[in-house]
Amino acid sequence: MEALIGLLLLVGCHGVSSVVHSLKYFYTASSGVSNFPEFVVVGMVDELQIIYYDINSQKAEPKQSWMDQLTRDNPQYLERETGNLLDSQQTFKAKIETLKKLFNQTGGVHIYQKMFGCEWDDEDDTTDGYEQYGYDGEDFIVLNLKTWTWISPVQQAFITRLKWEHDRALREQKENYYNKECVDGLKKFLVYGKSTLQRTERPEVSLLQRRPSSPVVCHATGFYPYRVVVFWRRDGEELYEHVDHGEVLPNPDGTFQVSVDLDLASVPREDWRRYECVVQLKGIEDILTPLDPALVRTNWGRGGGSHSNSGNSEEQNPAPEVQPLTT
C-alpha cells in the first residue's frame, strides 16, 4: 500500500518557500508473522519517530529526547496513550480475524494496517489530513476528507463503508479530529521539539558514478527538514527525461538523504558542463552543482573528485499531546 510505505520525495514544487509539517500514526496488526509483534504502533512528526508501542511491552514509549519535557508537563500523556493503544490492540486483533473471514482465508501471513494524520503549512496556515486502511498490502478503505466519504476499492469493504458513512457520530469525531485536534497536537509537538523539528541542516551534495556507462548520481545528504527538491537541468532548463528520482531516506543522525540519477549515455563528455544538479531546501539558497567530469566521484579509477556543500543549521525549541485515533 503506497501511502504506508516509504517517505515522499517532493519534486515539481520548485522554490521551497514554506515547510509542510506532518503528524502521522501507523498501526500494524499481523497474523502468522514470526519474530514480529502482532500489534505495533509508530507515531512520527516530520518523519521522525516520536512514539512507539507494541503488544510485547504494552506501553507507549517516547523516542525523542525532547519528549521528556512533554511528559513532565503532561504527566498523564503516556498513561493516556497507553490506554488508547491497548484498546486499539484489541480492536485490531479482532479486525484481522474478521478480515480473514471476509477474504475466505485461514492460515498464512496477513497484515492489517492503518495510517492517519495531518499536515500543516507553516506559511499559509493551510491544513490537510488523511486516513486509510490496508490489508495484505492493498488499500481496503480510505477516507476522503474533502467530501467526508469513504472509498472502498475492494468488495469486502463495502459493508464497512456503508456502516461508517451512516454513522453521524463517527463523522463528527473525524471532523473534529482532523480539523482541530490533530493539527493542534502537531503544533504542540513542534513547540516541544523546536530545536530538532524546526531546524535547518544544509545538505552535502556530491556527484557519483559507479561505472563509465552508469548514470551520474546527484546525491544530497545530511539535510533537514526532509522535504527537499532535487532535480537536474541543462542550459538552465529542468530535465524530465532520462532522470530517475530516488526516495528520501533517513540517516542514523536524524537527517535525510536522496539521490537523483541522470542517464548521460548519449551525451558526449564535452557537453557535460551544460548540466547541473539543483537542490532546494527552505531556509538556504539553492545549491547548484555543475556537472564537471573532474568533480565526479567514481569507483572505477577515473574522476575521483567530489563537489560538496555543507553548512550551518538554524535552531528553533517544546507540545503536548495528540490523541491517536482508535476507529
pLDDT tens across 171-221, in order? 999 999 999 999 999 999 999 999 999 899 999 999 999 988 899 999 999
Domain boundaries defined on the chain: 20-196, 200-307
> 200-307, superfamily in CATH?
Immunoglobulins (2.60.40.10)
Mean pLDDT of 11-26: 72
Cα separation, 275 vs 293, whole angstroms: 11
Paired residues of 279 in beta bridges: 230, 287
* Amino acid identity, position 69: Q
Q: Hey, do 20-196 and 200-307 end up sharing a CATH topology, with the first three levels equal?
A: no
Asked if 55 and 80 touch (Cβ cutoff 8 Å), the reply is no
Cα separation, 245 vs 64, whole angstroms: 30
The three-state (H, E, C) secondary structure of the chain, written as one string:
CHHHCCCCCCCCCCCCCCCEEEEEEEEEEEECCCCCCCEEEEEEECCEEEEEEECCCCCCEECCCCHHHHHHHCCCHHHHHHHHHHHHHHHHHHHHHHHHHHCCCCCCCEEEEEEEEEEEECCCCCEEEEEEEEECCEEEEEEECCCCEEECCCHHHHHHHHHHHCCHHHHHHHHHHHHHHHHHHHHHHHHHCHHHHCCEECCEEEEEECCCCCCEEEEEEEEECCCCEEEEEECCEECCCCEEECCCEECCCCCEEEEEEECCCCCCHHHHHHEEEEEECCCCCCEEEECCHHHCEECCCCCCCCCCCCCCEECCCCCCCCCCCCC
- Tally of CB atoms within 10 A around 250: 14
Give just the sign of the alpha carbon dihedral 51, 197, 288, 232. Answer: positive
Mean pLDDT of 68-82: 95
Q: How many residues does the chain have?
A: 327
Q: 326 versus 207: which is more confidently predicted? A: 207
CATH fold of 20-196 reads 3.30.500
Q: Which residue is associated with the grid cell 540519477?
A: 261
89-144 pLDDT, tens digit each = 999 999 999 999 999 998 899 999 999 999 999 889 999 999 999 999 999 999 99
Mean pLDDT of 268-283: 94
Contacts of 44 (CB under 8 A, 6+ apart): 22, 23, 24, 25, 26, 50
Please give the pLDDT value at position 122. Answer: 86
Mean pLDDT of 63-84: 95
Average pLDDT, the chain: 87
Cα separation, 9 vs 250, whole angstroms: 12
- The answer, yes or no, to whether residue 55 has pLDDT greater than 80, is yes
Please give the pLDDT value at position 309. Answer: 45
pLDDT band (50, 70, 90) for residue 15: low
Contacts of 147 (CB under 8 A, 6+ apart): none
pLDDT band (50, 70, 90) for residue 42: very high
Mean pLDDT of 6-26: 63
Please give the pLDDT value at position 19. Answer: 80
Asked if 27 and 92 touch (Cβ cutoff 8 Å), the reply is yes
pLDDT band (50, 70, 90) for residue 147: very high
Q: Which pTM value belongs to this model?
A: 0.79
CA quadruple 249, 179, 67, 113: dihedral, nearest 10: -50
Asked if 205 and 307 touch (Cβ cutoff 8 Å), the reply is yes
pLDDT band (50, 70, 90) for residue 31: very high
- The answer, yes or no, to whether residue 28 has pLDDT greater than 50, is yes
Mean pLDDT of 80-89: 97
- The answer, yes or no, to whether residue 319 has pLDDT greater than 70, is no
